[in-house]
Amino acid sequence: MKKNIFNKYLLVAGIASVAIFSGCRKETAADKVGGQAANNGLSFIGFPDGLEQAHFFDPFTDIKTVDVFSIKRDAKSAADLQKDQTVVLKSIPDAITKYNDDNGTAYELLPTSLYTVSSTKVTTTTSGNLNAKFAPGDFQNYFTIKLDGSKFDLSKKYALAYVISDAAGLTIHAASKDTLYTFFAIKNKYDGAYHSTGTFHHPTAGDRAIDRDKTLTTAGATAVSTEIGDIGGSMTLTVNETTNVVTVSGNVSASQPLIPVPGKTSTYDPATKSFILNYQYTGSGGFRVVEETIKHK
């Protein structure tokens, strides 16, 4: 499952050299004497903030201006920085379906009824593609939208997906050649920073204590996702707001789904903002049983 969608990265500028995006890259020794000049002597284009970028909002009903992502031109020289170039980003909605299949998520294409494009440098076409226009001197442009919170469905999570289809003579950074995903969701009231305490009961290795910070991320109107016990992975906690009973779903592997502990119920305590959980999964030697309380900080 893909993780760490907020990570920044350094982009490869040559076979053995790595450079952070800058408006104009300094000439290197390799440019002058050959060797890596075939790479170092190029101007690049790419996404400096990574290929997965998430935007999660507190509930709002007005219009919010959102810088969805940036695209950056890494020019090899002042002369290249003065070029007028338009980079095309192809919209690929089908990639969202594939992302859901690969990651067990349920993102939908962000409807055009929820936003309008407000950027002048990155504009949309009738086909849904984007034109990133770099005028002389431009090295970074933002795709900016105005998002209408009054039309946002709290029960849904949305996404947009693009790939650079025409680099306008620039070289696409190695780390930017794949699909760019941007995600949008409204935080529910359970979203936030928590601390987990409890016990992981292992059938052969014995018990161990759980004592760790956790982040709970909106996964629906009354659902949040977080890691499983102290083993990583992902589980979803869905609250029945009438009974405060919590359904724990997810799996460690395809053959190891999370299931309730017989005779015990998982609940949410609104007074303490705590999830009191009892769940288990099978493995070699028997069930791994997790008892944990995840309390809002």
Note the pLDDT tens digit of each residue in 4-25: 333 333 333 333 333 334 455 5
Q: Are 24 and 81 in contact (CB under 8 A)?
A: yes
Q: How many Å apart are CA 69 and CA 142, to the nearest integer? A: 6
Instruction: For the chain, give the number of residues.
Output: 297
Q: What is the tens place of the pLDDT at every residue in 221-270?
A: 789 999 999 999 899 999 999 999 999 999 999 899 999 999 999 999 99
> What share of the chain in percent tops pLDDT 90?
74
pTM of the model: 0.65
Give which of 113, 38, 119 is closest to 71, Cα–Cα: 119
Q: What pLDDT, on a 0 to 100 scale, did the predictor assign at position 67?
A: 97
Q: What is the pLDDT of residue 23?
A: 57
Query: What SS3 state is found at 33?
Result: helix
Q: Which domains does the chain have, with CATH numbers?
A: 11-26+42-186 (2.60.40.1740), 192-296 (2.40.128.440)
Give dist(CA 160, CA 155) in Å, integer. Answer: 17
* Predicted local confidence at residue 104, as pLDDT: 73
74 within 8 A of 203, measured Cβ to Cβ: no
Please state, rounded to an integer, the average pLDDT across all residues of the chain: 87
Q: Which residues contact 3 (CB under 8 A, 6 or more apart)?
A: none
User: Which amino acid is located at 227 in the chain?
Assistant: E
- pLDDT tens for residues 83-137? 999 999 999 999 999 998 887 788 999 999 999 999 999 999 999 999 999 999 9
Q: The tokens 């083993």 sit on which residue?
A: 231
Partnered with residue 63 across adjacent β-strands are 148
In angstroms, rounded to a whole number, what is the distance separating the alpha carbons of residues 47 and 9?
10
Distance CA 201, CA 92 (A): 45
pLDDT, tens digit (0-9, with 9 covering 90-100), for 31-60: 333 333 345 689 999 999 999 998 988 888
**Token digits of residue 180:** 């760019």
CA Rg value for the chain: 23
Question: Mean of the pLDDT values across residues 278-283?
Answer: 97
Residues 6+ apart with CB under 8 A from 170: 42, 43, 44, 45, 73, 85, 87
Query: In the prediction, which pLDDT does 105 show?
Result: 80
